[in-house]
Amino acid sequence: MVAETKTNDSIPTVYADGGALAPIPDDVTIPQFLFDGHHPLGGQALHERPPAWFIEDATGREVTGDQVRARVWGLANAMSIRWNIGDGDVVCAYGPNHVDYPIVIWATHRVGGVFTGANPAYTAEELVYQIRTAKATALFIHPDSLKVGLEAARIAGIPLDRVALYDTASGGQHLTVDDLVREGLAQTKRWIEPKLKPGEGKTKLALLFFSSGTTGRPKAVMIPHYAIIANVVQMKQYADIHDQGTPIEKQRYAPGDRVLGVLPFYHIYGVVVSLHYFMLCGATLVIVQRFNLRNALDSIVKYRVAHLALVPPMIVLLCKDPIVKNYDLSGVKMTTSGAAPLSAELTNQLARVLPNSGIGQGYGMTETCTTVSFPQLTMRIGTPGSAGVLIPGTQVRILKADNTWGKPGETGQIVVTGPSMAIGYLDNAEATAETFKDGWVYTGDEGYVNEKKELYIVDRIKELIKVRGFQVAPAELEGLLLDHPDVADVCVIGAPDEYSGELPFAFITPKEETQTRISRAPAEEQRVRDAITEYVTKHKTQYKWLAGVMFIDVVPKNPSGKLLRRLLRDKLKELMKEGKVTITPPGAKTRAKL
């Protein structure tokens, strides 16, 4: 289908297919939408869901819909009675996934509060920054994160009687979610349910989620209830178009399907897609505390998981680790990758690992309240290299480097709008003005839309390597290198060069067997490095050739799977300053003295 473009003040705009959007209520909160009403797309009514809404991965414990509703009610009551949490108050959760993580989110919303989730890898200083930026007044902590969480609470001024744990920790002296739920259920209702006026859902905040921070300090993104509801409706409408009239056993998104809930709920991909979208689909979420390949494989088989929502680092392991061949993964029927680009090479490898699964990418960001594009459901394997197809209600424009607006097929910054856009950044008018303009989000991502309304992400604009005026996308070289037999993981950055401006430089984590060979014969390291360099030379034009390769133990990434290039850029600059690495023109060898 040819991309439909319209003009507004001479600006070419691509509109997603799918017809008019299904109704999106703008006068309800998220739990009111999920628990209390009914929607034409279905999924909300309790009788339409499977008995178990959640399964605790580690124990197999099932949590039914009745239990979810009761726990949300009880926790909301206790939060109101004990802490006076109400309209506009912010509650923070710190730690990995837990079956009560959604309970805390929805209980906060029931009393009119705002939820913010924090990365369990944060130091106390980083957590204090989030607490203070979001103005949180209560803190829920996973026992695994207790030490840092308590330290942050002390520094941020949150008293211990406003801190609760998901489970009893060693010593048992801390309040738990179970304690609060029992307390709340034992008393009469004291919390006040928000009653939104028409349109108020578009401004009533539900989440304060933080941007990735790959280019600076994280910013608190203001996400209203309407945005989350709109995005799950958009995704469900898109999925229903392709499942309509299909027998339930052949539907990609069938009620009762089981989903591996391994994406962190403190990240927008995990909380909107894994949690809220699949809840609307009537799925059962197997909630995994944190990703471990062997445990994930065990869970996929044990719980007959049909859906995988993953990030590229997880997919790299699925494709590269030899233990995968010991598992029957034929029951997986849909795999979606997001949060970072997935190369065509890795997509094809994954198709061999998951023989019966549809495979594709989606694209979105915190500022768009997640999904802008979704996997092509008419194909078993989405168009290689694409980030999927635009979902209903989405509009895209392309801002070219010369500051003119591009047509379909032309490359530039992706500018997007739709019903799920965030409001802006909390207490940051300057950053808000740069990203949010007249209802449009300027993503900072370089890409294009083709005639089929498939979205392609070239790279982050600021991450593009400029070699003598030519632009080199790191993701392109990374996709190629991941197909090399000695490469387990990789990050490509621009190395400063007096003549060319920048040259591509690869930080690589070798495969385990390669590392073993190197440890037994030190000369093997240079041979492998040369082989990798020659591999790129063979497959890419000269200005894309590598100026150097360095082996590292782990490629740094944030929780969403985005490569932290700035850390490696700083590392390389320091090594060059110390004379430990010398960059030479493409085609020559980099002399690493480490």
**Which domains are assigned to the chain?**
5-24+223-460 (3.40.50.12780), 64-195 (3.40.50.980), 464-592 (3.30.300.30)
The pLDDT of residue 467: 83
- CA distance linking residue 575 with residue 500, whole number of Å: 19
Rounded mean pLDDT, 240-259: 88
Residue 383 has pLDDT above 90, yes or no: yes
Rounded mean pLDDT, 278-294: 95
The pLDDT of residue 46: 41
For 277, half-sphere exposure in the C-beta direction (CA atoms, 13 angstrom radius) is: 30
Q: Find tokens 């240079």 and name the residue.
A: 526
The token pair that represents 174 in the structure block:
């801390």
Q: What angle do CA 206, 234, 56 make, to 5 degrees?
A: 60
The whole-angstrom distance between residue 409's C-alpha and the CA centroid of its chain comes to 26
Residue 588 has pLDDT above 50, yes or no: no
Per residue in 14-59, pLDDT (tens digit) is: 999 998 999 999 999 999 999 998 888 875 444 456 689 999 999 9
The token pair that represents 358 in the structure block:
């549809």
pLDDT band at 448 (very low <50, low <70, confident <90, very high): very high
Q: What percent of the chain has pLDDT over 70?
A: 93
Q: Note whether 293 and 327 are within 8 A (CB).
A: no
The pLDDT of residue 591: 31
The token pair that represents 72 in the structure block:
């949300």
Q: Strand 363-365 and strand 581-582: pairing?
A: unpaired
The pLDDT of residue 216: 58
The whole-angstrom distance between residue 109's C-alpha and the CA centroid of its chain comes to 22
Residue 447 has pLDDT above 90, yes or no: yes
DSSP string, 473-528: -HHHHHHHHTTSTTEEEEEEEEEEETTTEEEEEEEEEE-HHHHHHHHH-THHHHHH
Per residue in 502-556, pLDDT (tens digit) is: 899 999 999 999 999 999 998 999 999 999 999 999 888 888 899 999 999 999 9
Q: Note whether 423 and 360 are within 8 A (CB).
A: no
The token pair that represents 268 in the structure block:
């927008």
The whole-angstrom distance between residue 242's C-alpha and the CA centroid of its chain comes to 24
Q: Find tokens 């059962």 and name the residue.
A: 284
Distances (CA, A) of 72 to 190, 272, 496: 14, 18, 54
Q: Note whether 492 and 477 are within 8 A (CB).
A: yes
For residues 11-21, b (16+ Cβ closer than 10 Å) or e, as one string? ebbbbbbbeeb
Per residue in 325-374, pLDDT (tens digit) is: 999 999 999 999 988 778 888 899 999 999 999 999 999 999 999 999 99
Q: What is the mean pLDDT of the chain?
A: 91
Q: Note whether 467 and 474 are within 8 A (CB).
A: no
* Sequence-separated (6 or more) residues with CB below 8 Å from residue 292: none
Q: Strand 163-165 and strand 90-94: pairing?
A: unpaired
Residue 593 has pLDDT above 50, yes or no: no
The pLDDT of residue 171: 65
Rounded mean pLDDT, 70-93: 98
The beta strands (E) that lie in 65-124 are given as: 90-94, 114-118
- Quick one: CA dihedral 170, 171, 175, 179, positive or negative? positive
For 328, half-sphere exposure in the C-beta direction (CA atoms, 13 angstrom radius) is: 5
pTM of this structure: 0.84
pLDDT band at 212 (very low <50, low <70, confident <90, very high): low
pLDDT band at 7 (very low <50, low <70, confident <90, very high): very low
Per residue in 106-161, pLDDT (tens digit) is: 999 999 999 999 989 888 988 999 999 999 999 999 999 999 999 999 999 999 99
pLDDT band at 497 (very low <50, low <70, confident <90, very high): confident
Per residue in 156-192, pLDDT (tens digit) is: 999 999 999 999 876 678 999 999 999 999 999 999 9
Residue 594 has pLDDT above 50, yes or no: no
